[in-house]
Amino acid sequence: MFQDNPLLAQLKQQIQETLPKKEGQVKATEKGFGFLEVDDKTSLFIPPPYMKKVLHGDRVEAFVRTEKDREVAEPDTLVEASLDRFIGRVQWIRNRLNVVPDHPQMKDALRAKTQRGLSQDNLKEGDWVVASLIRHPLKGDDNFMCQVSEKITDADDKIAPWWVTLAKHNLPNQEPAPKDAWPLLEQGLERRDLTDLPFVTIDSESTKDMDDALYVKANPQGGFTMTVAIADPTAYIDADDALDQVARDRGFTIYLPGRNIPMLPRDLSDDLCSLRANEKRPALCCTFNIDADGTIADDAEFFSAWIQSHGQLAYDKVSDYIELGEQAQWQPESSDIADQIHQLHQFALARIQWRETHAVTFPDRPDYRFELSEDNDVIAIHTDQRRIANRIVEESMISANICAGRKLRDAFGFGIFNTHAGFNSEKLDDVVELVKAHDGEADSESLATVEGFSALRRWLNSLDTTYLDNRLRRFQAYSEIGHEPAPHYAMGLDVYATWTSPIRKYGDMINHRLLKAIIRGETEANAPADTVGEELAGHRKHHRMAERDVADWLYTRLLKPEVEAQTRYTAEIFDINRAGMRVRLLENGAPAFIPSSLIIDNKSRIACDKETGTVTIDDNVEFKLGDSLEVVIADIKETTRSIVAKPTQVFTLPEASQSE
C-alpha cells in the first residue's frame, strides 16, 4: 500500500524517523512470527508480515514501535545476512524452481535460478543442491532469490549424508590425486637401520594408514628407554611441492562415520608411508628415557631411520592378552612381540601414574562406531571401550609429543604447538567462588598456573559426580593451535607439539621438517606462516562439525523404529538451557533433546537454569548436569536430523493440587 501511494510512503518515512532503532538477530518460529534478540535479556516480537522480509539468523536494525499494547520490531536494515552459500533441496512450485534451505528454522522455499552451465532439467524434486542468496528484501529487492551453483546428489541417494555434509562445510569428498612415482627426497639425512628391532604397531583391525610404531626396553636401573617411530611423508613431499599446498588446504584427514577422506593420496597414506608389518619404511624417530616413576628425562634424541614393523597388532587382541594372559584367544606370534607387549604395558602404567599425580587425565569414555552395509544402510552401532592397549598408544604418543615440544621450543622457539590457557582470566573469581561453594579449595593466583589448574582437575576427577566438572567447563578457554610454545593447561603440560600423525595432520608435517632441521644441526629454520595455526583450527572445527552432522543423520535413520518400540535407554545430561536438557544415550552415543514440556506439562512448575546447570520442579532440584536418567525416544525429526527424548519418570501434580 505504501509503495503504491507516495504520500503514505512519505508519511511512513517521517513517522519512522521518530522511532528508536535497535540491532539484533532474527529468531524465527514455526508459527510465522519471530523475535529480535537484542541481547541475552531483551527480545522483541516480530509480527508475521514483517517476518516475510527476513530469514532466521539475519542480523538487522529494526524500528521499535508499540502495536496493540505490545512492543514490536520492524526490520529495516540488513546488517548481516544469515544465508550466503547454503545447502538446500529442490522444490518445484507451479513449474518454477525453488530451493528450501536445509536449516531447522527455515521452512519456506526460496525462488531460485541456476547459474550458467547448469540446466534446470537436471534438477528433480528433493535433489540436494548448493545455492547462494542473491536477493534480499531488506536490500531493496522485491523478494528473496537464490542461485543454484551445484547439484550434490539425488533425492533418494543413500550416500547423501556424507556428500551433503561435506558440501555443507565446503570439504573435499575424495582424496588427493595419486602420482605415477614417489621418489625419496635427498634431505641431507643419514637414516639409521633399525629394521632388526622388534617394533610393533597397535591399531584398529581395519586401520590402513598406520603412522606410529613402538619399541621399548626396560633399563636395569629401573625405568625404560622408548623409541617411537613415525611415518615420514615429508621424505616424499617437499615444502615447495604442490601436494604440500593441498595438504595445507585440507589440514587433516577427514574422519566421518563409515568412511574417511585422507589428507594425502592413498598410495602414500595407506601404502608407502604406512608402517605395515614386515615392510621396510622410512621413519622419523625419537628415543627418550623414562624414570621408574614415569618422569620423562630431558634427553630425547630425534633421528631418521629405516624401520620394519615386526607385528601389526590390534587394540582388543592386545588388551585381551594383557588381561587374560595365556587364557586369551589371541597370542603373540613370537617371544619378542610378547616381551614388547609386556614392556609397553609397564611403561604405560608408569606414565599413567605420573600423569594422574602431576598432570591431568580424563575418565575413559567409549568410542561409538557405525557399521554400514554395502549400500550405506546403518546396520548397528558398536561401543568400543578404551582399554589398556589404547592407553599404551595414547601414553606413547603423548610422551613423544612432549619431547617434540621441548625440542622445538629450545631449538627455535617456534613450531606448531597445541596450547590451552586454562580458565578465562576474567572468570577466575567465579571459578573460585563455585569451587568453594562445593567444599573445594582454590584461589585465583594458583588457578592461573598450570600446576594449580592441574591440581583442581585432579580434585574434580576424585569426586563422585561430574556436576561441578560440567559447570566449570563453561569457564574454560578453548584449545588453540599456535606458533609459539605455551602451556597446555587441559593436559597439565608446560609444552606440547604433535608430530606423531603426519599422514593425517598438516601441522605434524611442518613439525617434521623443523625436527629434521634440528637433526641436520641447523640453528635457523623457516617459521610456519603466520596464518597456519588459525587455518588448522578452522579445519579442525569444520571437520568436527561434519563428523557430528553425519552421525546425527545416521542416528535418526537407525533409531526411527525405536519411537514405536519405546526402547528404554540410559542417558547422561551434558547441557541444560531454558528450553530443556541435552543428553547422550550411553548405549549408542546418540545426542537427544528433552524439552521441559516432556518432563512435566505444567510450565509454571519447572525451571531449567543454564547458570546452575539444574532442572527444578516445584523448587526441588530433580536433574543436574552429569546425572543419568532413563529415557525413551519420543520423536525422530528427520528433516532436522534430531532426536527428542522424554524421561520414563513421570512427574504429576501434588495431591493437594489435584484435589483442588
Q: Strand 259-261 relative to strand 480-482: parallel, antiparallel, unpaired?
A: unpaired
CA distances from 399 to 305, 472, 549 (A): 19, 27, 33
- Tell me, yes or no, if 211 is annotated catalytic: yes
| Cell numbers that stand for 459 in this block | 580434585
Which helix (H) or strand (E) element contains residue 244?
A: helix 242-250
Active-site pick, 58, 209, 232, 469: 209
**Cβ neighbours around 518 below 10 Å, total:** 18
Check if the beta carbon of residue 415 is closer than 8 Å to that of residue 407: no
Cell of 108: 519456506
What distance in Å separates the CA atoms of residue 339 and residue 54, rounded to the nearest whole number? Answer: 68
Q: Are strands 301-314 and 192-193 parallel, antiparallel or unpaired?
A: parallel
Distance CA 418, CA 486 (A): 8
Active-site annotation holder among 58, 203, 232, 508: 203
Q: How far is CA 588 from the centre of its chain?
A: 18
As a whole number of Å, the end-to-end CA separation of the chain is: 53
Beta bridge partners of 227: 215, 287
Active site residue 504: yes
Q: How far apart are CA 26 and CA 57, in angstroms?
A: 5
Distances (CA, A) of 35 to 27, 30, 52, 83, 109: 5, 12, 13, 18, 21
Angle, CA of 355, 361 and 362, to the nearest 5°? 170
Contacts of 98 (CB under 8 A, 6+ apart): 90, 91, 92, 109, 110, 111, 112
Is residue 315 annotated as part of the catalytic site, yes or no? yes
325 sits in the region (left: phi over 0; alpha: psi -120 to 50; else beta) called left
* From 58, 212, 232, 320, the catalytic residue: 212
Extract the runs of DSSP E, i.e. beta strands, from 180-270.
192-193, 199-203, 212-218, 224-231, 254-256, 259-261
Catalytic residue among 211, 244, 270, 549: 211
Of the candidates 315, 467, 506, 569, the residue annotated as catalytic is: 315
Q: Which helix (H) or strand (E) covers residue 549, if one does?
A: helix 532-559
Give the number of residues written for the chain.
Answer: 660
Q: Is 203 a catalytic residue?
A: yes
Q: For cell 554395502, name the residue.
A: 374
At 282, list the grid cell.
622410512
Tell me the residue type at 416: I
Q: Where are the beta strands (DSSP E) in 315-416?
A: 367-372, 378-384
Cα 227 from Cα 301, distance rounded (Å): 9
SS3 for 424-492, per residue? Answer: CHHHHHHHHHHHHHCCCCCCHHHHCCHHHHHHHHHHHHHCCCCHHHHHHHCCECCCEEECCCCCEHHHC
212 part of the active site: yes
With beta carbons less than 8 A apart as the criterion, state whether 384 and 366 touch.
Answer: yes
Contact present, 190 and 301 (Cβ < 8 Å): no
Catalytic residue selected from 89, 504, 584, 641: 504
Catalytic residue set:
203, 209, 211-212, 315, 504
